[in-house]
Structure 1
Amino acid sequence: MTMYAKHAVTIFMLLGLLFVQGAGEDVVASNDFESFQLVVTAVGSTTDTSVQAALLKGMLLGLEGRRSVRAPEGWSTLSNTLACSTSASVRQHALALSQIFGDTVAVASALECVQDSSVAAAQRCSTLSLLLGQQNQEASQLLKVLIDEPALTLSAIRGYAVVRNDEAPAVLISRYSKLNAQQQRAVVETLASRKAYAEALLEALKMNQIQPSAVPVQVARSLKNLLGKKFTDVYGALPVVGAEREHLIKKYKKLCKPSAVAAADASRGRAVFQKTCAACHVLYGEGGKVGPELTGANRANLDYILLNSVYPSLDVPHAYRTVSVLTVDGRVVNGVLAEEDGTKIVLRTPEQPRVVIAKEDIDFRKISPQSMMPDGQLDAMKPQEVIDLVKYLRTTEQVELP
């Protein structure tokens, strides 16, 4: 009986645990490497590449957010074998694990991979993300070159937030005007992630290199916390809806009178939803998960729609409150808590579904009663867009886009 067959039940029980939120990390956090040792033995005892890939992926999940982890016994020899596997997934997972285990050859190979334009963009992006997650300074220095490759632009922009780089503000601001809307938003969010970056963003706002309208309200909140009054002196006052809530609800209720909604276009409303709401909310199986799912919400009730649109922070479920994290190297991340275990937290933001932060890197964190959804969303829309959006939100089944 092979070692793999002998331990098959145990291995797959472990694999299941590794894919359960937090279980794999608890194994690592306890410094009990026996389970990982068993997986390593199993990987080396089978030639089934699909099994190898699944086990290696489980190990990666268990080690997510960790740095400088001691390699299991025999990993060095096994990784050399896996590097020659016919399975790309096996090769990539093994290389990623070797990086986490501090293998300098693997790190050098990963740096070469990131710079190799013949490698698939997705692999280059994932390799870059892992290198930056390991706080690799060489990878950070490559960002000023990678940002000019269209397939890597977004990853490079966001990479500047992960590892502090004094060149970041100049690199990002100099390219801002040539970027698309998603990339420009990523630039603004990255520049708001560290105080030194935020100072440069403030100067760019003063010089009209970046317009205040390009700074989302939730990002502006973070910038106000970082820079104080000197930010609002340039950006303007942040909206305060509480005192005007009843007035605004009456205003939009009058706008969305039954005859207007009846004549509205739900398809156009879906387009408005995709542009302004879908990054955070799921409706009919599509959208992000930063905010509550809307499919089963009380969407037929106009008062419910308007109250939650005008003043989303009135009553925020605990699971959707904004979590603000400051890391020991000065990075600021705002999002909702998606996962937490003994070694890491995972935040979900409107732009990134998984931002992994090792607990050892956290200086402090706080939970705000505010929603990630900014106040005054409807104020930024044209009147007909508001009416069309309300029509779409009150539908009972999905409609086609216009």
Structure 2
Amino acid sequence: MAAELLERAPDDEQRGALVAAFEQAFQGRSIGTLPDRLLHAIRATNKLSLALRLRLGEPAAIDTALQQVGSLKTPIDERIRLVTWLGESRVEGALPAMLEIVRSEQAPELLTATLVALQAFTDDRVSQAISTRYAFWPADVRATAARTLATRRQGAVTLLGLLDQQVATSREIPDDVVAMLQLHLPGNDRTRLENYWPDWQSQQTDDVAELQRVSAALATGDANPYNGHALFVANCAKCHQLFREGGQVGPNLTPYMRTDTPRLALQVVNPSKEIREGFETWTAITADGRIVSGFLTDQDPQRIVLRDVDGRDVSLLRSELESLERSNRSLMPQGLLRTLSEQEIRDLFSYLRISQPLNEN
């Protein structure tokens, strides 16, 4: 049907519109299993984007993408798109260009996208390049770097070495990364891991004490929602949206029952206690030893798509999966409020509970 529509389209403009709609519909999904007739009809148009040409495996498109991704003249946003496509396509020739970005790039957004794209590659040079530059990156880039290292066993050993050398600290490693390390590291390495997170598996007592602290803070004292907004942006907006502000990794908080303070406090203190439907964490292990955790955002008979804690969609072929299991742990890290004072807790919750956006102060 789709091939027939393309073949019957009267002009380039309509063919281009059909191809653009097709590309949008199959973003993050495999096109390798499409009927030959449809693939031929797509190739026959002259309206293919560079991304689609890459996915179709055109050598000229790969060469163009490699030239542009390594050029400082290419806008950052375009380099981010290119490095994402190259990672999804697993173009082996892209590895040197990506490693050069890791070694020399300063823009956090491009570094983060490149680190995520490198998760698709098994080459030991990936963990070597990351370990060399890790100490020079800001905290959010280090978190993504740790996640990339933890996707494979060799990288997990490298990350443990960075902890031993005090280049990395246990406090900066996200919970989902610790979970991946536990899957990868057996024996003596597991013992070393437990030295850094001795109580990671049993935090219930800490959660009870933290919930009591938060509840006591919310029971007394005044609060400033404007200060709370700043705290929301700093601590929550990367993953959650409220009044059209914030990311789309976790649930949108705007329609959520936010006036139920005890329940809201419990879910912030212990996010794994009650996980909303559709936001369960899934962990995939591939045949080549890669571990990916995230929300299951899309699937078809050939492929699944997991959205990781960075908000990036990772597409995996079912034929490459060794296992896919749902976890009872939330991607949202525990302990988010532990660094906040009682006044900051009151301010944050006062903002979370408001029914409409704040006026400019």
Structure 2 vs 1, CA of residues 299 and 118 (structure 1 numbering), >3 Å: closer, same or farther? same
> Secondary structure of the residue that 1:347 maps to in structure 2?
strand
What residue number does 2:281 align with? 322
- Asked if the contact 2:84–2:114 (Cα under 8 Å) also holds between the matched residues in 1, the reply is no
- Asked if the contact 2:83–2:98 (Cα under 8 Å) also holds between the matched residues in 1, the reply is no
> Secondary structure of the residue that 1:320 maps to in structure 2?
coil
What residue number does 1:4 align with? none
- Asked if the contact 2:249–2:308 (Cα under 8 Å) also holds between the matched residues in 1, the reply is yes
The equivalent position to 1:65 in structure 2, one of 5, 29, 39, is 29
> Secondary structure of the residue that 1:339 maps to in structure 2?
strand
The equivalent position to 2:4 in structure 1, one of 31, 34, 38, is 38
For 1:185-222, what per-residue CA distance to the aligned partner results, in whole angstroms no more than 9, with x for missing partners? 21111111111101000000000111212101232222
Distance in 2 (CA, whole Å) between partners of 1:214 and 1:284 is 29
What residue number does 1:241 align with? 203
> Secondary structure of the residue that 2:281 maps to in structure 1?
strand
What residue number does 2:134 align with? 176
The equivalent position to 2:125 in structure 1, one of 159, 167, 176, is 167
Distance in 1 (CA, whole Å) between partners of 2:301 and 2:93 is 29
Distance in 2 (CA, whole Å) between partners of 1:46 and 1:353 is 36
2:52 counterpart of 1:97: yes
For 1:134-157, what per-residue CA distance to the aligned partner results, in whole angstroms no more than 9, with x for missing partners? 221110222121232345322222
Letter aligned with residue 169 of structure 2: Q
Deviation at 1:296, TM superposition (A): 2.7
Distance in 1 (CA, whole Å) between partners of 2:81 and 2:3 is 25
Distance in 1 (CA, whole Å) between partners of 2:27 and 2:128 is 34
Distance in 2 (CA, whole Å) between partners of 1:159 and 1:325 is 16
For 1:310-352, what per-residue CA distance to the aligned partner results, in whole angstroms no more than 9, with x for missing partners? 2221222331111111122222111111112222222222212
> Secondary structure of the residue that 1:379 maps to in structure 2?
coil
Letter aligned with residue 203 of structure 2: V
2:103 counterpart of 1:122: no
What residue number does 1:17 align with? none
TM-score (normalizing by structure 2): 0.87
Larger radius of gyration: 1
- Asked if the contact 1:191–1:201 (Cα under 8 Å) also holds between the matched residues in 2, the reply is yes
What residue number does 2:298 align with? 339
What residue number does 2:159 align with? 201
For 1:285-324, what per-residue CA distance to the aligned partner results, in whole angstroms no more than 9, with x for missing partners? 2223333332233322321122112222122233111111
2:14 counterpart of 1:55: no
- Asked if the contact 2:19–2:42 (Cα under 8 Å) also holds between the matched residues in 1, the reply is no
Structure 2 vs 1, CA of residues 385 and 222 (structure 1 numbering), >3 Å: closer, same or farther? farther
Letter aligned with residue 240 of structure 1: S
> Secondary structure of the residue that 1:299 maps to in structure 2?
coil
Distance in 2 (CA, whole Å) between partners of 1:298 and 1:388 is 18
TM-score (normalizing by structure 1): 0.79
Letter aligned with residue 224 of structure 2: D
Letter aligned with residue 46 of structure 1: D
RMSD: 2.5
> Secondary structure of the residue that 2:283 maps to in structure 1?
strand
Letter aligned with residue 292 of structure 1: P
Structure 2 vs 1, CA of residues 172 and 66 (structure 1 numbering), >3 Å: closer, same or farther? same
2:90 counterpart of 1:135: yes
Distance in 1 (CA, whole Å) between partners of 2:133 and 2:319 is 34
How many residue pairs align between the two structures? 350
Letter aligned with residue 89 of structure 2: Q
Distance in 2 (CA, whole Å) between partners of 1:208 and 1:130 is 34
Deviation at 1:246, TM superposition (A): 4.2
Distance in 1 (CA, whole Å) between partners of 2:288 and 2:260 is 46
Once the two structures are aligned, what percentage of the paired residues are identical? 23
The equivalent position to 1:383 in structure 2, one of 342, 346, 358, is 342
- Asked if the contact 2:258–2:353 (Cα under 8 Å) also holds between the matched residues in 1, the reply is yes
Structure 1 gaps of 5+ residues are: 1-34, 83-89
Structure 2 gaps of 5+ residues are: none
Structure 2 vs 1, CA of residues 302 and 347 (structure 1 numbering), >3 Å: closer, same or farther? same
Distance in 2 (CA, whole Å) between partners of 1:400 and 1:165 is 51
- Asked if the contact 1:169–1:191 (Cα under 8 Å) also holds between the matched residues in 2, the reply is yes
> Secondary structure of the residue that 1:318 maps to in structure 2?
coil
2:144 counterpart of 1:186: yes
Q: Which runs of 4+ in 1 moved over 6 A?
A: none
Distance in 1 (CA, whole Å) between partners of 2:67 and 2:328 is 45
2:206 counterpart of 1:251: no
